[in-house]
Amino acid sequence: MSDAQVKLAVIGAGAMGRNHIRFIQEEPEAKLVGIADAYEGAKKVAEEAGVPFYQDAAQMMDELQPEGVLIVTPNNLHLTTAREAIKRGIPTLIEKPISDDLEDAKKFAKEAIEAKVPVLVGQHRRYNPFVNQAKQMIDNGELGKLTVSSFHYMIYKNDGYFDVDWRRQKGAGPILVNLVHDVDLLRYLIGEVDLIQGMSSSSARGFETEDSAVVNVYFQSGTLASMTISDATVSPWNWEATAREDPQYRPFDADAYFIGGTKGSLSLPRLHKFTYDGDASWHKPLRMDISPVDPQLPHKMQLKHFVEVVCDKAEPIVTPTDNVKTLQTLTAIKQATETGQLIKLEK
């Protein structure tokens, strides 16, 4: 690999794809060389970016020979395109989740390992400095043994959002559409999941799919957590409204996650840490400390990491194998909320 800018191509020019295009254009170590999208109307995006446009992603990879590709297509097309990339030995960043099909995701994870081609999954919140500060504090034992935690995704989606038929039907709903980020951070911060139980409701809107759910999680470590999920609840208690990652959301001085342990507790994203001076006792006053962190836009940090992956300077932080575990947890959550059964995850 030369010291020149890394040549990257984007496959999928929808809203998220256009964000990736902008991030590449703003990254001094990367150069956008092409855009592919099956929709002919996306040609305008390539024209504005000043790069070639293709409707066939495989043709683009063959003709432009990018050093890395970013796959930002609909979920059901992720792996078809990714297989074309790894067949050509091209390092790949795939937006999450890597597939709607858990079994195919497992198959692809093995294929990527066998091909020895690096594949990074776009769980961008892993690059948030506040998340990584929390991870360091937990791993350093500052909270002691983790005991109980609560994660919240409580938001109100406007009625017009549901004008699209599939968003009202089975297979949609906030569990499968939105919770992949929260589940990934649940695993990243607390550990691997053993058991899931939950309930869901569609009473707020009356659609086929849920609008609200509550989930209980038992981790392999013995730690417990709860998750509250709703796209029909007016509140600031969600990552979008609190983490300042996306300018379209008005930021609130609030938290979405609360993680507790025997020595202290921590809220995110504000990083309020509560502890006692000396021995813990409920009769003593708590102290609150806030760790200083320099904010960074996670998507930009993710792109910088991907450039290092392409240049063989780093291993992917989130691999397909790792993302499969998140998909397994999501699948278990969906199954538990629909059946009322206690679901045990594969180890």
pLDDT tens across 155-190, in order?
A: 999 999 999 888 898 878 999 889 999 999 999 999
In contact, 328 and 106? CB cutoff 8 Å: no
CA dihedral 330, 231, 94, 83 (to 10 degrees): 60
pLDDT tens across 262-295, in order?
A: 999 999 999 999 999 998 899 999 999 999 999 8
pLDDT tens across 92-113, in order?
A: 999 988 988 999 999 999 999 9
DSSP for 271-293, written as a single string: -EEEE-SSS--TTSPPEEEE---
Whether the predicted pLDDT of 19 surpasses 60? yes
Mean predicted confidence (pLDDT) in 29-57: 96
Domain limits, the chain: 6-117, 126-294+328-344
Whether the predicted pLDDT of 311 surpasses 90? yes
Q: What is the pLDDT of residue 193?
A: 98
Q: What is the pLDDT of residue 176?
A: 87
Q: What is the pLDDT of residue 246?
A: 74
CATH architecture for the domain at 126-294+328-344? 2-Layer Sandwich (3.30)
Q: What is the pLDDT of residue 76?
A: 85
- What percent of the chain has pLDDT above 90? 86
pLDDT tens across 331-341, in order?
A: 999 999 999 99
Residue 173 and residue 82: Cα distance in Å, rounded?
26
Whether the predicted pLDDT of 250 surpasses 80? no
Average pLDDT over the chain reads 94
Q: What is the pLDDT of residue 1?
A: 42
pLDDT tens across 118-133, in order?
A: 999 999 999 999 999 9
In contact, 157 and 229? CB cutoff 8 Å: no
Q: What is the pLDDT of residue 3?
A: 57
Nearest CA to 94 out of 334, 326, 331, 330 is that of 326
- What percent of the chain has pLDDT above 70? 99
Whether the predicted pLDDT of 330 surpasses 50? yes
Whole-structure pTM over 0.75, yes or no?
yes
Whether the predicted pLDDT of 219 surpasses 90? yes
Assign 216 a pLDDT band (cuts: 50, 70, 90): very high
Whether the predicted pLDDT of 317 surpasses 50? yes
Q: What is the pLDDT of residue 2?
A: 44
DSSP for 155-224, written as a single string: -B--GGGGGSGGGGSTT-SHHHHHTHHHHHHHHHHH--EEEEEEEEE-TTT--SS-SEEEEEEEETTS-E
**Least confident window among 98-107, 210-219, 307-316:** 98-107
Mean predicted confidence (pLDDT) in 251-258: 92
Whether the predicted pLDDT of 229 surpasses 50? yes
Query: Domain 6-117 - what CATH class?
Result: alpha beta
pLDDT tens across 69-84, in order?
A: 999 998 888 999 999 9
